[in-house]
Amino acid sequence: MTPSPFLGELLGTLVLILLGNGVVANVVLKNTKGHNGGWIVITAGWAFAVTIGIFVAKAFGGYDAHLNPAVTIGFAVAQNEYSKVVDYVSAQMIGAFLGGTLVWLYHLPQYAKTEDKGAKLATFATDPAIRASGSNFFSEVIGTIVLLMGIKGIGAVTTGLGPFAVGILVWAIGLSLGGTTGYAINPARDLGPRIAHAILPIVGKGDSDWKYAWVPIAGPVTGAIIAGLLFL
């Protein structure tokens, strides 16, 4: 494979979702070694997933390593430069869909043993602790603004340690702000795997909760635009 920004974003996002949703599957599905590992395990797993995803993206030509349409949109707004948006977001969506599919294939026996339809959906997409659209939307907006402000700050003070610092940033968001909605803060992270959940032949699955799906898309995009205009 020839390295390119498209390939880097695709593979980096694939690894991000494989490891990120993989830790959720390890905790919530039955008959795994990590079953009931808890929120600390999930937030740590997602933080490490971000770090490794960034390294993979850069190794395969994704020098920006956004892995997130909200990051792409936020910096596009800040720089008034939109030439990368379509390519990056397309790659991120494909990678997220493929990553979600791999999580399912990897845990096929565990999906068969798990009766809880909500747990199965949680391995693909986010859902709120308390369903309140306004508050849920606000949570995703604020979480995404903090993400982009943090990335901006990290870029200002470090280079080689950047992927580790971004992982810590995502860990902090998960621990401090993630308990309301599951901190999507990334439209591809939610929508790509949610589409996979909708079309894959998952044993005993429920619906894909499309009524909620707008929140982890619109919230991060809104937060990204605000950050792009005000902070980046």
pLDDT at 30 over 90: yes
Residue carrying the six token digits 């791999």: 102
User: Which H, E and C letters describe 3-47, residue by residue?
Assistant: CCHHHHHHHHHHHHHHHHHHHHHHHHCCCCCCCCCCHHHHHHHHH
Asked whether the beta carbons of 198 and 43 are under 8 A apart, the reply is no
d(CA 28, CA 185): 21
pLDDT at 112 over 90: yes
Percent of the chain with pLDDT over 90: 97
Q: What does residue 114 show for φ and ψ, rounded to 5 degrees?
A: -100, 120
Q: What pLDDT is attached to residue 1?
A: 80
What does the block give as tokens for 100? 């979600």
d(CA 170, CA 42): 12
Q: Which amino acid is at 12?
A: G
- Find the DSSP H helices in 60-213: 69-79, 85-106, 108-113, 117-122, 133-157, 162-177, 187-199
How sure is the predictor about 158, in pLDDT bands with cuts at 50, 70 and 90? Answer: confident
Mean pLDDT in residue range 170-189? 98
Q: What pLDDT is attached to residue 78?
A: 97
Mean pLDDT in residue range 83-98? 98
Q: What mean pLDDT value characterizes the chain?
A: 97
Q: What is the value of pTM for the model shown?
A: 0.97
How sure is the predictor about 159, in pLDDT bands with cuts at 50, 70 and 90? Answer: confident
Q: Count the residues in the chain.
A: 232
How sure is the predictor about 205, in pLDDT bands with cuts at 50, 70 and 90? Answer: very high
Q: What pLDDT is attached to residue 232?
A: 86
d(CA 127, CA 182): 6
Q: Which amino acid is at 224?
A: A
Q: What does residue 130 show for φ and ψ, rounded to 5 degrees?
A: -125, 125
